[in-house]
Amino acid sequence: MIAAGTIRAAFCADPGELWSSKIRPLVDVNCVKCHGPLEQKSGLELDTPEAAFKGGDDGKVIVPGKPEESLLFQYLDPKSDPHMPPKKQLGSVEIASVREWILSLGSESRESNAKTNVAGQFATITEAVDGFMAEGWSKRGVSASAPLDDRGWCRRIYLDLAGRIPAASELENFLQTGTERKREELVDSLIASDEYAVRMRELWDVFLMGRVKRENQEERRIKSGWWSFLEYSFRENRPWNETVREMLVARPAKEELKGAYWFLFERRDEHQLIAEAVSPVVYGTRINCAQCHDHPLAREIKQAHYWGLVAAFNRSKNVKDEGVAESAVGGYVNFTNLKKESQPALVTLLNGKTLPETWPAGDQKEEDTDDKYMDPKAKVRVPKLSRREAFADAATQDNPLLARAFVNRMWSVFMGRGLVHPADEMNARNVPSHPELLDWLARDFAKSGYDIKRLVRGLVLSRVYGLSRGDAVPESFAAAIERPLSAEQLARSWRVASGAPKEDEKLRRAVVMSIPEVLPKEYNATFQQAQFLENSPVLAELLKPGAGNTAERLSRLQNNSEIIREAFLSVLGRLPDTEEVSAAKDFLKEQTNKSAAGGELLWALMINGEFLTMP
Amino acid sequence: MTNEDLKCAAGQCRTDEHKVHRRLFLKGLTGGTVATVTSFSGLFENSAFAAETKKAQKHCILLWLCGAPSQFETWDPKPGRPSGGPFGSIPTKIPGVHFSSLMPQCAQIADKLNVVRSMKTAQSEHLQAITLLQQGNPARAGFTRPTLGSVFSNAVGQLDSPLPNFIFIDPIPGGNEFETFKAGNWAGWLGAEHAPVRLGGDYTQFLNAGSDTIPEHDKETRESLRRFLTRKFERDRNSNIARSQNAAFERLKGMTASADLFDVNKLPAPDRERYGPGSFAQHALMARHLVENGAPFVMVANGMNWDNHVFQHEIHQMLVPELDRVLFHLVNDLEERGLLDSTLLIAMGEFGRTPWLNAARGRDHYPNAWSMMMTGCGLKRGMVTGATDSDGVDVIEKPYNEQNLFATIFKALGIDPYAEYDLPGMPTFHRVENKAEPIRELLA
Amino acid sequence: MKLTLAYDHKLDTGIFGLAAEQKLDRVFAACADGAIYEMDIASGRAKAFDTRHDSYASGCVLLPDGKTVISGGYDGALIWHDIESGHSLRTVKAHRFWSWQLALSPDGTRVASVSGQYLPGSWKYEPAEAAEPCVKVFDTRTGELVASRNHLPPVLSCAFSPDGKQIAAANMMGEVRVWELDGSEAPVSKWISPAFTSWGTVKTHHYCGGIYALGFSPDGASLLGCGMGPMTDPMAGNGKMTWQRWDWRKGEKIDEIKEGQHGSGLMESLVWHPDGKHFVMAGKQAQGTWNAALFNSGDGNLVASIDTKKRITHSRFSASGNWLILAGANGQPQRKNDAWPAWGKLQVYQLEA
């Protein structure tokens, strides 16, 4: 039937909400081209509320609370002269929205003073998250869904921190534990495990490098030490800013860090690709659009930033099997905007600061001499003045966006949606759903020395993390947002459910090829995925009875009810309800091959929607 | 679905109630043997029923020329003008009308085509423009409007047909902005079952029944159990993931039964020769073949190959003749097979290209004045509507936007363009907003 | 070595081809409006010959007697123009498709024109074989076809050897073929350089690029070619500015542009300095610091460069080698108030040691 859309509140007097839901989309299409980052006719910009309030050459265009006195509203009238947009007429619904927004600004003084009633002082991350969330729910007039029971929560936390479902014994153990702090204890033990490090590596390998598209790409990520570098960093809980610095400088000093260079190396001297990959990590936003022109909608992202970021890396060059060298000279490029004006690309940070450099004048060639290098004989030469090191320093110390980006990303991993959504577009386009919480978490993360385990622990012990699923508006986080399992989570969980022996690269690789997305913006099950689930031989292997696995155990049971009960517990971690028992019994009766019947039952349970979804 | 769709035409039942009746009807048809509940492949073995269904079924082939072709090098040439480019124009079967000299075959059959030369739209960047021309209305933040194929699938698609209602053929994984669009949500508020099945190139790969060890019967029953469990989860939790999974499995069933239709190598060799060797031409032929076999909506793309910011004339010299040849054969073949009156054939991109040549030998994006072609179901033949000035810079006659276009498309297909979607808890949406007028001079 | 601007002229329409007299008083520009303009270098005044091509004029050559210009165009025609009267002497329909480029034999008795349309030849869009020979050589006095050779279309560039005995032609796939003019139909040498051709994996599955200019060294031993390096996204236009020099008899690469000495963008023009020790490559800059540069042909190093901030389609040295003409176009500006602003460019630089 029809997909249930988000249920919008019928009455909405919050100007911020009105701006993002109604006015900004309207303004983006009809106004921003002439009144925005690229052009400011009559000195007026309309791409943000602040800019709109400022007005233009002819004064203010908005009188808060009084649409009929506001030029912005007046000019929309069909009979108005001047008329905006010049060659179009907005519909009555759109004009009504503008009116509604200007009206709502009248009461903004009341709203803006109530910025946050919640005290800014929280002792722990969990307290802060719970406090800001509760305030948000109260402001929206929604109530949070019920908390997950222990069974559901245990399955969820294992999947999030260990990348797999708990084994039946682990679940039982947790359920039986009587201590008050049992959740904290489980979280602590999972975070301390190797599985946590692998799980974090799986996530961040995809976030930083993208999913592998070819077989040998994975081999090279392993062989170069990239995976080990990430796992080591997460296991030892190295500060995030140090890990990022390591990747950007790409001159790892320790054996355990040697794979750090792969972040640059895999990109094969394509300096633009490097810049495009660095930006979401260091600034929280992609800036690919800004290659050819200033970002048309996110005004703070300019061409100079894009090319400035490229410049930080364009003296770098891969040395096969060794690392990424850097030249002491060169990399002086210009970039041209759409008006064909040419500017030099100085190494530029997003806050506009440029790194000081003396460029060679005119057609003078800069001499590349040995004395410009630390060790001129080294295979991978390091210049005394290294652009990428200077950039890496600036980007990982005293750059508040670094913490912000990481915090938002980890929030999106655990909660199903970033505080800024999409998680890699933290720019003026996308307003945070809980701005004070984001600010708090980012400041706290930076102050803690970019302590990842502390952040993770704080987030997953919060009330909002432990909520059950529901139909609340996603950005309210009043109910858990549906999250699909990643390929690695699936592969491992299938092994646990089917009782298969531990390591199985073949299965994992096959699932990764077939289901490559990690936390996609839209969940799209392709028929090719269905094909994989239906026909994959590696998956089918798990279902054949043998070596004491679940299928074998099932084949030894006599009673259909017992078989069904065992299967549900092993796979879904719960007992079946009466409907399910009935359907499963019908199924078992129809099976012609009795010894395979248990395996087929497992298949249906392992493939079904419930298994593929986070509890 | 809209209220209008509840009316039942032969083979087009929509409501759950009708589904049940249809199932029972079929049971009678097949002599009361145990019917696997949702597989209607048996339906098409009954020739009378099949013929009836085929006749009533409407089709659409959308040749999606992504990246945007130049109107100067296709439908609206301006020879001798500074904007004209090097190719010049040729007269067509329609007196007074010229196409680019790169389209001699379409010129021959111009009286079977319709061209709109006055498209004027508001989006000049690919992602936004693709979205606009695929959805037919400006986007509204927070809501995802279904694309044309999904609307088609919902409104005139076949229930439980062996072939997916919306097939999308594009062999190229990438395509920058188009890639982003491809990864998005095409079916919007209509739900995953109206999303396209993607094929072409490496996307068409069928594992040989890897599970030879499982008897067919057991395969069916385990699938029934999977479906039962996932549907229950979908209902109990209002789960999008489960919904999407179910839709994918349904499609798989239909696809496996029609595997040959998706294999380029199984297309008739003389046809393959005629259409030409390139992947786009071969997939266009596949689209015709699919339509012949009942597929309702087939969209054919080839990445974003028309976006010639660099080497406009060097690449269009190859792309346009291929398109010309493909359209010629498609129109003639459909007509020959008695399908042109029930098949809407559309060829367009997301905007046009600039009248001025840039410094990289290219033309850039131009939504201000561009052309598209459509013919077939519900449309006249041989109409050329709208006009641009002598340089092709501005539309001077009858500007039309995406809403006018979609109103025309829906009217041609016999669907109410202004029908309201039935979306509880959501704002009011119509197929085409603002009661935008269709291009009346094209409608039959 | 330094390049200083001496003359800077606009032309209403973009310049795609150029011929110049030895003493450089005037040049002949083959233009986008199909006309050949005689331009006075000092004043920039331009006057078109009577007869225009029905499409872009792509090239022109000046015969040694200084009285006749032969032009080629995208209409596939070769037109003989009498300079004095401005009338056409003869028109020959050389090809069904474009004449991409012309070359004049050193003794002025032969003019070569290369053609060929890119059409889909395979699933992957490799070019289809041509229906007619892509390389044609005509007698400049009579207009007769004296030789034709086959090459895989589209063939973008051609050049005569200094002794006039060989002709080289290169295509979009980076394949160069060299033939003896008075020899057999088969090439005496051929090789492919993948450094000039893109097959997009990002947006599209077709080929583009190729070798846009060729030039034999004055000693006849090597051949230079230029174009743009491969891009994964051809629509970015940011392939590396590329030249390569080959031992044409062996079909082997001798040298190519050096790392750190190039930006990105399509290079359409190559011309040898009369001293035989330098050459200029020019075109359009997508990124970098120059769009025309002088190279030392011995060590391949860049010696001097300039950024004219335009697209250069053609370059020529004076006989002395002290003057360099760069002709080309801006991006065509938008029409303003029903008028199309000028977009052609002709500049003359003085070259000093």
Residues in Cβ contact with C101 at an 8 Å cutoff, skipping those fewer than 6 apart: C17, C58, C59, C72, C113, C114, C156, C157, C158, C213
Report the amino acid identity of residue A530: A
Give per-residue pLDDT as tens, B255-289.
777 888 888 888 999 999 999 999 999 999 999 99
By Cβ distance, the residue of B67, B321, B393 closest to C203 is B67
Cα A396 from Cα A403, distance rounded (Å): 9
Q: Beta B343-348 vs B59-64: how paired, if at all?
A: parallel
Cα angle, residue A454 at apex, residues A453 and A459 outer, rounded to 5°: 100
Any C CB within 8 A of A213 CB: no
Q: What are the Cα distances from residue B176, in Å, to A270, B351, B360? A: 17, 17, 20
Any B CB within 8 A of A12 CB: no
Length of chain B as a residue count: 444
Any B CB within 8 A of A29 CB: yes
Interface of B with A in 135-194 (CB under 8 A): 138-143, 164, 183-185, 187-192
Quote the distance between the C-alpha of residue A19 and its chain's center.
Answer: 24
CB contact under 8 A, B174 and C333: no
Cα A240 from Cα A395, distance rounded (Å): 12
Higher pLDDT, C251 or B55: C251
Q: Beta B297-300 vs B59-64: how paired, if at all?
A: parallel
pLDDT of residue C132: 94
Whether residue B14 is predicted with pLDDT greater than 70 in this model: the reply is no
Q: What is the DSSP string of B388-422?
A: E-TTSSSEEE--B-HHHHHHHHHHHTT--TTPBP-
Q: What are the 10-residue block averages of pLDDT along chain C, 353 residues in total?
A: 91 95 88 96 95 97 96 98 97 97 97 97 95 97 97 98 97 97 93 92 82 96 95 80 97 95 94 93 92 95 92 93 93 92 95 86
Among the listed residues C100, C121, C114, C128, the one whose alpha carbon sits nearest the alpha carbon of residue C179: C114
Cα angle, residue B309 at apex, residues B306 and B314 outer, rounded to 5°: 70
pLDDT of residue A437: 95
For residue C124, the chain B residues in CB contact (below 8 A) are: 279
Angle between helices A182-191 and A452-460 in degrees, nearest 10: 150
By Cβ distance, the residue of C125, C154, C204 closest to B304 is C204
B244: closest CA of chain A, how far (Å): 5
**Mutate which of A319, A334, A342 to disrupt the C interface (most C C-beta within 10 Å)?**
A334
pLDDT of residue A362: 64
Interface of A with B in 417-476 (CB under 8 A): 469, 471
C287: closest CA of chain A, how far (Å): 6
Higher pLDDT, C223 or B215: C223
Q: What are the Cα distances from residue A414, in Å, to A159, A200, A465? A: 10, 12, 7
pLDDT of residue B43: 41
Query: In which band, very low, low, confident or very high, does the pLDDT at B1 lie, cut at 50, 70 and 90?
Result: very low
Q: How buried is residue A609: exposed, middle or buried, by Cβ count under 10 Å (0-12/13-18/19+)?
A: buried
Q: How buried is residue A590: exposed, middle or buried, by Cβ count under 10 Å (0-12/13-18/19+)?
A: middle
CB contact under 8 A, A363 and C307: no
What 3-state DSSP class applies to A31? coil
Q: How many CB atoms lie within 10 A of CB A242?
A: 14
CB A129 within 8 A of CB A464: yes
Name the pTM for this structure. Answer: 0.74
pLDDT of residue B367: 97
Which long-range contacts link B92-98 to residues 24+ away (Cβ below 8 Å)?
Answer: B93/B382, B94/B382, B94/B384, B97/B384
Query: In which band, very low, low, confident or very high, does the pLDDT at B53 lie, cut at 50, 70 and 90?
Result: low
pLDDT of residue B285: 97
**CA closest to A292 among chain C residues:** C236
Higher pLDDT, B365 or A364: B365
Cα A546 from Cα B377, distance rounded (Å): 59
Q: What are the Cα distances from residue C161, in Å, to A456, B279, C316? A: 72, 40, 17
Q: What are the Cα distances from residue B43, in Å, to B49, B156, B293, C134, C284? A: 7, 18, 13, 57, 63
pLDDT of residue B57: 87
CB C222 within 8 A of CB C283: no
For residue A95, the chain B residues in CB contact (below 8 A) are: none
pLDDT of residue B40: 37
pLDDT of residue B48: 52
Among the listed residues A532, A461, C149, A415, the one whose alpha carbon sits nearest the alpha carbon of residue B245: A532
Region B222-243 average pLDDT: 93
A39: closest CA of chain B, how far (Å): 16
DSSP secondary structure letter of residue C257: P
Residues of chain A scoring pLDDT < 50 = 1-12, 109-114
User: To which residue do tokens 């469990």 refer?
Assistant: B229
* Beta partners for residue B352, in sequence order: B366
For residue C202, the chain B residues in CB contact (below 8 A) are: 174-176
By Cβ distance, the residue of C2, C309, C331 closest to A342 is C309
Cα A242 from Cα A250, distance rounded (Å): 12
CB contact under 8 A, A342 and C2: no
For residue A306, the chain C residues in CB contact (below 8 A) are: none
By Cβ distance, the residue of C14, C123, C236 closest to B277 is C123
**CA closest to B306 among chain C residues:** C204
Cα A21 from Cα A613, distance rounded (Å): 29
pLDDT of residue A8: 36
For residue C75, the chain B residues in CB contact (below 8 A) are: 88
Q: What are the Cα distances from residue A92, in Å, to A260, A363, B378, B406, C244? A: 57, 60, 32, 22, 64
Interface of B with A in 220-249 (CB under 8 A): 221-226, 228-230, 232-234, 237-249
**Mutate which of B83, B265, B311, B322 to disrupt the C interface (most C C-beta within 10 Å)?**
B311
pLDDT of residue B15: 40
Give per-residue pLDDT as tens, A165-198.
999 999 999 999 988 899 999 999 999 999 999 9
Any A CB within 8 A of B3 CB: no
Any A CB within 8 A of B257 CB: no
C36: closest CA of chain B, how far (Å): 15
Quote the distance between the C-alpha of residue A463 and its chain's center.
Answer: 21
